[in-house]
A and B are shown apart, each in its own frame.
Chain A
Amino acid sequence: MPTQDITYREAIVFALQEEMRRDPTTLIMGEDIGESEGPFKTCQGLMAEFGSARVRDTPIAETGFVGACLGLSLTGYRPIAEIMFADFLGVAFDQIVNGIAKHRFMSGGKVKTPIVIRAIGGAGLRFGAQHSQTAESWMLSVPGLKIICPSNPEQAYLMLKAAIRDDNPVLVLEHKALLSMKGPVPVGTEEVAMPTGPKILREGSDVTIVGSLAMVGRSLAAADLLAADGVSAEVIDIQVLRPLDVTVVAESVKRTNNLIVVEEQAPTGGWSSDVVADVLTQAFDYLDSPPARITLPDHPLPYSPGLEDAMLPSPETIAATAKSLLE
């Protein structure tokens, strides 16, 4: 498949555009996404092409428009909601965890709920405590949801397309620090499939480093640092948080015998703990060192640039952790 070099943001736009062309029952709702094309320009050109019936500017009413997605999905549509900052998922929490995630089950499996909720989260842009969260762990414990996290333009494109075609509720967590990241994207891809597990992005033999979203790039950068010091790191993008299947990670650990999980979230209640627990179950005998988790500290994120930077797992920290495991 020929590729185009485009940004993560453009990849989102292409995915939305292609899927909305493909299926007239898709529609997208969110704040300032129509004429303004979204505060992050993730809906560029959509209103012009599809009109205001399918590209809907909503009032500031996350409970209302996210809940409305359930009603749309039950009656023949495939709604997509854009949550401008993932932090605002908090406003829609009830509709998602008690409604969207459970409705099919409560109907005895009789209804379908093809819903995509895209939320743009993440730290690093000095937005302070209420506009910097990735929201990865908020809904991790909710059965009935799929949660995916694209870490590069290609994934942003392929995973969003697959999510839109999926017949289930999918929460797509995007990262605002990645929006301008460029990479090759197979624009125009016809066949897509929802990823079912982690993906190895770089092969290595000494240590396995697992990350999501912006932490993937930092893990790859750490692998570069380690390579310069003769350490071979395997880097894995967890990409699917729910349902979580760590087999790929466990198989990797069987080869490298060391595990680091990097998560842009507080240390408690996040997916890195689940990864470690499941890998221990599957590959306990192969580990040469206790698995390490690198997370944010257990407090909200500060605003001041130096403070925010100090909170985020850096390639240097990841590399140093890897070396300490190998000592």
Chain B
Amino acid sequence: MNAAMTQDAILKISSLQKRYGEVNVLKDIDISMAPGEFLVLVGPSGCGKSTLLSCISGLTDISSGTIHIAGRDRTNDEPADRDIAMVFQSYALFPNMSVERNIGFGLEVRKVNEAEKKRKVAEVADLLKIEHLLHRRPAELSGGQRQRVAMGRALVREPKLFLFDEPLSNLDAKLRVTMRTEIKRIHQTTGASIVYVTHDQIEAMTLASRIVVMKDGVVQQIGTPQEIYNKPVNAFVADFMGAPSMNLMTGTATREGEHVRLQIPTPEGPPLELFDYGPGPETLAAGDTAELTIGLRPEAMTDLGLRSGGMDGRTLQSADCLLDVVEPAGADTYAVVQLGGTEAVARLSADAPVAAGQRVPIAFDLSKISYFDIASGNRL
């Protein structure tokens, strides 16, 4: 993040803390967000995402720190004065009002004149394809339609910043995918700045321009989906992001000349041996051996060896593995291999001629490897 960008940040959170009595729910949060960004806060349930969003909105008072929105200190401002809009998980539509009045409520409160209000509501209704619903009540709408109305209410005021709290979690799986695309489309057409909370890492990966991964009230990593996915800063992020998640195997690494020798124990016999010709774990000095966590995503453990046999022996290395369980999943077949004290998952092609109990050569892509400290879980 360069200095100019911080200057123009649409949202800048500095040293934010939130305590409920003795409990520190948010610890020293620092986040900066550029205009037009789609920032996704992701983390397991109870990690403080909603609380953080609520602090940004002003619905919750913070214990210490500052919040700047569009360059102005908004720490002590009312929610209504922060130039933001929020879409709630439960939609929070006004049940006694028509869709039209729901969407126009913010304008009504601000005493925008009737014609102007009608025009803006119509514009937003058009964008969200809900013109035909304007005279209905929320109770007469489907989940997806309510979702659109909730977004309409946020969009109509053209605020500087949009806050979404798990907006899709009340929808069924299929609708969730549709609405996800819809939200992405709206972001692209309006160029709005969005802070979006979800516990669903797939949603995070597909929507975000940048992701903030949280755990226990602490920001673990901020980065683009690619950074988060390929270079997780710790074992938690590695495990949380991606489905199936990264295989975290315990093994040893020894630096031998130009490569690092990796040994991953297997229950059935001699350990699996791989050679990392890349930089390897930075902290490992020449000749040293260390026990550590070796992280490889399922798509870095494939059946390429079965099909082509063309191993270059450097980034792509083959080793025989005993398949414990084989789970066809349509586009892919997942195979479970007992490696380094964990049930490592390999992602094979759908038509791979394999069955449980077989020993087959698996191709390991070492360009995608990550190392983590066993004790701290931090990336090495």
Partners in one complex: no
Interface residues of A (CB under 8 A from B): none
List the interface of chain B (C-beta within 8 A of A). none
